[in-house]
């Protein structure tokens, strides 16, 4: 038969408690005595160091203050966490037994950090500071709204703890933490790997797009204008604050496929050392999702919405715009609210870029003056653009064949992407340039032939209209292909999400 274990009598519990309380008092009085001796004999800085170590030893934490720095603040990334993480990667000391080492693709060096539960002892202007990483996990049930299948997902909540002597509370908050923020910015700029994030699946990949303003084939005046605009933007924090405008800038890039819109975005990111967030509207579900995704982006970033004409089915603004093939609503005004900077909680130093092949197809609400700060036309290749490409790909600044090529480039519509492709076909300069001439001649011949046939068929007047139609059809096909590609990517991501 099962019998209950005998309960301790009240008197034995009391005597145990009394003995425990007596020993606790003894420990405290020893602690106080040692503290008093320290106060009399030792200089103040050393006193603090010894007393906080003793405090830890005797389980007395009353002399120390711990700041808790969580990775997220609601949906937003806590910049103090990010900055601390970057800063700490440079503060790893020899006393640490275990280190986590990783290398970001494209990063110049290795990144090192400590494991959960370990401490980094740091000093700042004579103050001793102890950093520690901590994390907890929670389990969440996720429902796929398409299949209604449920899965369970683990979420990790990461925290950095910073503890120090209470006397330095003000100094740490007012001087040290701002110093960590500044320092991390500098460290990031030194070793920067620009991140390219696909918003919606949170998978960051490093941006290894080599495009810079130097390699970009475009009108030099326009190029300079864009660079000046970016310079002005990053320098004008105080101006934006003074006039009460959110520190944001919007660019609309438009032009035919292959004229360098995506390359220009990469050049902007490389120039400013900003991260890129590629926002796929097709993978979003409604305004609240858009809002939470956007608030999860960091400052100093470029948010890109490519092919805005393909991403949003343009409908009457009153009725909202619908994501193609999705039942949930993402309104155009939801998007425009963001562009207008209504979400000032979203952070600072943001650039928003929309791209489109058809400017005319866009909702006028997007084109309204003041909505996007700069409309940038990316055009077919010009003679000047060709020279930049030849210098990039063949390392030639001048050549006897240049004038013939430049003449042809003025006659036919050729994109920088097409020229680049031709230039890559051969490393030998003469062969590559002769190849380009052949390519342009063929294009010119085709154009002539096409217009000859068309002339016979429909006569001169309809020619222009037909050209437009063909072009428009080509673009629509491209849009369609993109949609299919996007859907495939979305499905793959979902499948991957399900597997995890």
Ligand X SMILES: Nc1ncnc2c1ncn2[C@@H]1O[C@H](COP(=O)(O)OP(=O)(O)OP(=O)(O)O)[C@@H](O)[C@H]1O
Q: How far is the CB of 475 from ligand X (least distance, A)?
A: 9
Residue 258 lies near ligand X (rule: CB under 6 A)? yes
Residue 353 lies near ligand X (rule: CB under 6 A)? no
Cβ pair 401, 437 in contact under 8 A: yes
Residue 433 lies near ligand X (rule: CB under 6 A)? no
Q: How far is the CB of 142 from Mg ion (least distance, A)?
A: 32
Residue 257 lies near ligand X (rule: CB under 6 A)? yes
* Residue of 262, 283, 297, 331 that binds Mg ion (CB under 5 A): 262
Cβ pair 200, 284 in contact under 8 A: yes
Q: Which residues pair with 112 in a beta bridge?
A: 101
**Which range, of 71-79, 174-182, 208-216, 253-261, touches Mg ion by CB under 5 A?**
253-261
Residue 283 lies near ligand X (rule: CB under 6 A)? no
Residue number of the CB closest to ligand X reads 260
* Alpha-carbon gap, residue 425 to 337, rounded angstroms: 46
**Which range, of 22-30, 77-85, 259-267, 426-434, touches ligand X by CB under 6 A?**
259-267
* Residue of 263, 297, 301, 311 that binds ligand X (CB under 6 A): 263
Closer CB to Mg ion, 376 or 394, in the complex: 376
Which of ligand X, Mg ion, none binds 287 (CB below 5-8 Å, type-dependent)?
none
The single-letter DSSP state of residue 220 is H
Q: Is 296 helix (H, G, I), strand (E, B) or coil?
A: coil
Cβ pair 364, 370 in contact under 8 A: no
Residue 268 lies near ligand X (rule: CB under 6 A)? no
Residues that bind ligand X (rule: CB under 6 A) add up to a total of 16
Residue 420 lies near ligand X (rule: CB under 6 A)? yes
Closer CB to ligand X, 184 or 259, in the complex: 259
Cβ pair 160, 85 in contact under 8 A: yes
* Residue of 42, 92, 234, 417 that binds ligand X (CB under 6 A): 417
Residue 287 lies near ligand X (rule: CB under 6 A)? no
Closer CB to ligand X, 382 or 404, in the complex: 382
Closer CB to Mg ion, 86 or 264, in the complex: 264
* Residue of 218, 312, 321, 390 that binds ligand X (CB under 6 A): 218
* Alpha-carbon gap, residue 65 to 56, rounded angstroms: 12
Radius of gyration of the chain (CA): 31
Task: Tell me which residue of 425, 423, 417 sits closest to 402, measured CA to CA.
Answer: 423
**Which range, of 182-190, 412-420, 425-433, 457-465, touches ligand X by CB under 6 A?**
412-420
Closer CB to Mg ion, 100 or 209, in the complex: 209
Which of ligand X, Mg ion, none binds 260 (CB below 5-8 Å, type-dependent)?
ligand X
Closer CB to ligand X, 129 or 216, in the complex: 216
Cβ pair 282, 487 in contact under 8 A: yes
Footprint of ligand X on residues 464-493 (CB under 6 A)?
none
The size of the chain, in residues, is 500
**Which range, of 39-47, 255-263, 361-369, 431-439, touches Mg ion by CB under 5 A?**
255-263
Task: Tell me which residue of 392, 377, 384 sits closest to 422, measured CA to CA.
Answer: 392
Cβ pair 373, 494 in contact under 8 A: no
DSSP 374-416: EEEE--S--HHHHHHHHHHHH--S--TTHHHHHHHHHHS---H
Closer CB to Mg ion, 478 or 494, in the complex: 478
Residue 270 lies near ligand X (rule: CB under 6 A)? no
Cβ pair 119, 131 in contact under 8 A: yes
Closer CB to ligand X, 129 or 432, in the complex: 432
Cβ pair 371, 336 in contact under 8 A: yes
* Alpha-carbon gap, residue 303 to 294, rounded angstroms: 8
* Alpha-carbon gap, residue 1 to 9, rounded angstroms: 23
Q: Is 97 helix (H, G, I), strand (E, B) or coil?
A: coil
**Which range, of 251-259, 278-286, 361-369, 402-410, touches ligand X by CB under 6 A?**
251-259
* Alpha-carbon gap, residue 384 to 391, rounded angstroms: 11
- Interface residues with ligand X (CB under 6 A)? 215-218, 257-263, 357, 378, 416-417, 420
- Interface residues with Mg ion (CB under 5 A)? 261-262
């Amino acid at each position: 038969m099962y019998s209950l274990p005998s309960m301790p009598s009240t008197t034995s519990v009391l005597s145990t408690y009394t003995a425990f309380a007596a020993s606790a008092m003894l420990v405290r009085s020893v602690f106080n005595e040692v503290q008093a001796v320290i106060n009399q004999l030792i200089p103040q800085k050393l006193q603090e160091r010894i007393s906080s170590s003793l405090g830890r030893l005797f389980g007395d934490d009353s002399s120390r203050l711990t700041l808790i720095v969580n990775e997220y603040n609601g949906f937003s990334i806590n910049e103090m966490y990010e900055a601390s993480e970057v800063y700490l990667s440079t503060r790893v000391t020899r006393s640490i037994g275990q280190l986590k080492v990783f290398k970001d693709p494209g990063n110049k060096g290795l990144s090192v950090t400590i494991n959960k539960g370990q401490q980094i002892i740091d000093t700042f202007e004579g103050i001793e500071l102890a950093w520690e990483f901590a994390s907890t996990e929670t389990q969440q049930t996720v429902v796929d709204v398409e299949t209604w299948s449920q899965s369970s997902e683990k979420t990790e909540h990461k925290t950095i703890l910073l503890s120090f002597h209470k006397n330095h509370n003000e100094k740490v908050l007012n001087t040290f933490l701002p110093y960590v923020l500044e320092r991390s910015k500098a460290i990031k700029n030194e070793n920067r790997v620009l991140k390219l994030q696909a918003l919606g699946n949170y998978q960051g990949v490093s941006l290894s797009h080599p495009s810079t303003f130097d390699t970009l084939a475009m009108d030099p005046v326009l190029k300079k204008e864009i660079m000046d605009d970016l310079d002005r933007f990053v320098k004008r924090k105080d101006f934006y604050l003074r006039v009460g405008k959110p520190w944001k800038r919007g660019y609309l890039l438009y032009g035919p496929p292959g004229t360098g819109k995506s390359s220009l975005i990469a050049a902007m990111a490389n120039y400013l050392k900003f991260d890129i967030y590629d926002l796929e509207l097709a993978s979003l579900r409604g305004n609240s999702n858009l809002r939470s995704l956007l608030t999860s982006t960091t400052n100093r970033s470029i948010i890109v919405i490519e092919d805005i004409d393909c991403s949003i089915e343009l409908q009457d603004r009153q009725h909202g715009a619908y994501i193609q093939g999705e039942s949930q609503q993402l309104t155009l005004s939801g998007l425009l609210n963001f562009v207008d900077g209504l979400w000032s909680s979203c952070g600072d130093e943001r650039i928003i870029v929309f791209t489109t092949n058809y400017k005319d197809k866009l909702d006028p609400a997007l084109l309204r003056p003041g909505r996007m700060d700069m409309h940038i036309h990316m055009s077919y290749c010009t003679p000047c653009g060709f020279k930049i490409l030849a210098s990039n790909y063949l390392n030639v600044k001048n050549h006897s064949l240049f004038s013939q090529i430049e003449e042809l480039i003025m006659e036919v519509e050729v994109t920088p992407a097409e020229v680049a492709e031709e230039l890559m076909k051969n490393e030998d300069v003469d062969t590559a340039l002769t190849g380009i001439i052949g390519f342009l001649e063929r294009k010119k011949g085709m154009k002539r032939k096409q217009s000859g046939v068309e002339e016979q068929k429909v006569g001169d007047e309809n020619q222009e209209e037909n050209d437009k139609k063909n072009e428009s059809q080509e673009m629509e096909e491209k849009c369609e292909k993109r949609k299919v590609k996007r859907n495939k990517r979305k499905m793959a991501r979902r499948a991957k999400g399900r597997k995890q």
